[in-house]
Amino acid sequence: MSYTNKVLEEAKNRNPNEPEFHQALTEIIPTLQPLLDEHPKYEEEGILERLVEPDRQFMFKVPWVDDSGKVRVNRGYRVQFNNAIGPYKGGLRFHPSVTLGTIKFLGFEQIFKNSLTGLPIGGGKGGSDFDPKGKSNREVMAFCQSFISELYRHMGADLDIPAGDIGVGGREIGYMYGQYKRLTGRYEGSLTGKGLAYGGSLVRKEATGYGLVYMVENMLSAKGTTFEGKSVVISGSGNVAIYAAEKAQQFGAKVTTMSDSNGYVHDPDGIDLEAVKQIKEVRRGRIKEYLEYSKKAEYFENGSVWSIPCDLALPCATQNELLEDGAKMLIKNGCIVVAEGSNMSTSLKATELLQKNGVFFAPGKAANAGGVAVSALEMAQNSSRIPWLFEETDCKLRTIMHKIYISCAEEAERYGMKDNLAAGANIAGFKKVAEAMLEQGVV
């Protein structure tokens, strides 16, 4: 049995009942074999065995009181996966589907993603099964304060810096930052995605979506084309989806779909983003309400956006939202690029199907790295006490995405897998972390 298969099987056996973590391990570990064959030192020093085991993981009770006076109890998580190249860094997800396995898959991917950005950040992730949907601001504040009352002791600007993810945006980060400051007395960059009035960075809100489109810009350029005139389907209608749509439109493309967990809208004239922002960012409503803004749009409760013909597909909602049936529809309709805005949007089978049929595919850990990259830029601004301009930060983001594309493409080509950006991203991300681990000894 190869070294990678041995580590993969052991990790799966050691962590039963964590299917999403198994999926991430299965997607990543085998692709590293060519590099490991070249460098026997990695196996001798047990780099993979050490990488698949989180440094530590916390699970804790989060009690809070709802508006009717009833006591509620949720479960909180933080997995500090690996800090070989920098302090633990990664988002917090608040969604009823969250389990330890969810957080571990996200934390494991985050190690590679953060390495790809070229910035000094290690991998971590956290969250809760708390559902902010339908809760009042007071309830969300009560939950966030309770969550941080436990987590604050494991956080710090040089230790572990959480940020947003599904269900965690500016409002939640604000409440958590306030509580962290109250408990520690420190005004430091202990969270990113902060508001602009108290240490946030320009472009952080836009960063994941814009970065995704900058990644696709590089993919299209490699194929001798651009966004101009292309049709784009996007799933989700949250932070990543909205700003991916915004940048795609700025680049001359037509975005025709957006969705949420209840259904999707198809607007053949192109999505009116101001309407979506009003529904999602201001009203915290459902995507169905888009019909109030557009006469031509249609709303579907069943099926998926992948059935709508397009040139480019950007999944921006959640993991495993694009499976084999969706991939088949995209292929049949002539889609040329799929780039993951969400983490692990596609199943391994769907990814392979897309690649085999010549669809140029970018994995989330490369394509959505713009978010955490600008988080690291926010940390730099916090440490230096000097905020940067929008254009300056956006330009840095675009350069970072270009470099990520180049390193993924180059590593894929070096190991005889031209255009396999998924394998390229895994190898490129792993290299720096493995090198740092070797040099720091067995810790």
Hey, which residues are catalytic here? 125
Range in contact with ligand NDP (rule: CB under 6 A) among 81-89, 224-232, 234-242, 434-442: 234-242
371 sits near ligand NDP (criterion: CB under 6 A): yes
Between vectors from CA 164 to CA 67 and to CA 192, what angle results, nearest 5°?
115
Buried b (16+ CB within 10 A) or exposed e, 62-76: bebeeeeeeeeebeb
In angstroms, give the least distance from the CB of 421 to ligand NDP. Answer: 16
Pairing of strands 337-339, 312-314: parallel
Q: What is the 3-state secondary structure (H, E, C) of 172-225?
A: HHHHHHHHHHHHHCCCCCCCCCCCHHHCCCCCHHHHHHHHHHHHHHHHHHHCCC
| 315: partner contacted, choices ligand NDP, ligand 2IT, none (Cβ within 5-8 A by kind) | none
H helix or E strand, kind and range, residue 260: strand 254-260
User: Per CB under 6 A, does 18 bind ligand NDP?
Assistant: no
Q: Which stretch binds ligand NDP (CB under 6 A): 62-70, 194-202, 341-349, 391-399?
A: 341-349
- Could you tell me where the DSSP H helices lie in 357-418? 364-367, 369-384, 390-414
Q: Residue with the closest Cβ to ligand 2IT?
A: 91
Q: State yes or no: residue 78 binds ligand 2IT (CB under 6 A).
A: no
Which of 86, 82, 74, 94 is closest to 318 using CA atoms? 94
135 contact choice in ligand 2IT, ligand NDP, none (CB below 5 to 8 Å, kind-dependent): none
The torsion region of residue 419 among left (phi > 0), alpha (psi -120 to 50) and beta comes to left
> 2 or 136, CB closer to ligand NDP?
136
Is 208 a binding residue for ligand NDP by CB under 6 A? The answer is yes
Residues touching ligand NDP, count (CB under 6 A): 24
* Closest among 50, 124, 115, 51 to 88, alpha carbons compared: 124
**Selected binder of ligand 2IT within 179, 239, 347, 375 (CB under 6 A):** 375
Structure tokens at 123: 């991998």
Contacts with ligand 2IT, 327-366, as mask; x by CB under 6 A: ----------------x-----------------------
Closest CA to 248 of 313, 164, 293, 193: 313
Region near ligand NDP per CB under 6 A, out of 37-45, 143-151, 260-268, 417-425: 260-268
Count of C-beta atoms within a 10 Å radius of residue 138 = 11
Question: Toward ligand 2IT, which CB reaches closer, 90 or 429?
Answer: 90
**203 near ligand 2IT, judged by CB under 6 A:** no
- Binding piece for ligand NDP, criterion CB under 6 A, among 73-81, 231-239, 395-403, 404-412: 231-239
Window 150 to 179, contacts with ligand 2IT (CB under 6 A): 163, 165
H helix or E strand, kind and range, residue 70: none
Count the neighbouring beta carbons within 10 Å of the beta carbon of residue 153.
12
Stretch that binds ligand NDP, among 66-74, 173-181, 256-264, 420-428 (CB under 6 A): 256-264
Cβ–Cβ under 8 Å, residues 241 and 258:
yes
Report in angstroms how near the CB of residue 100 gets to ligand NDP at its nearest.
Answer: 16
| Residue 288 structure tokens | 């169905």
Inter-residue contact 235 to 259 (CB < 8 Å): yes
- 120-149: which residues touch ligand 2IT (CB under 6 A)? none
Nearer to ligand NDP, 86 or 127 (CB): 127
Residue count, binding to ligand 2IT (CB under 6 A): 11
| 3-state secondary structure (DSSP) of residue 25 | helix
For helices 421-440 and 390-414, give the axis angle rounded to 10 degrees: 100
Q: Nearest distance from residue 88's CB to ligand 2IT, in Å?
A: 10
Binder among 371, 382, 407, 426 for ligand 2IT (CB under 6 A): 371
Candidate list 127, 238, 363, 424; residue touching ligand NDP; CB under 6 A: 238
Residues that bind ligand NDP (CB under 6 A): 97, 164-167, 169, 208, 236-241, 260-262, 316-318, 341-343, 368, 371
Residues that bind ligand 2IT (CB under 6 A): 89-91, 113, 163, 165, 192, 343, 371-372, 375
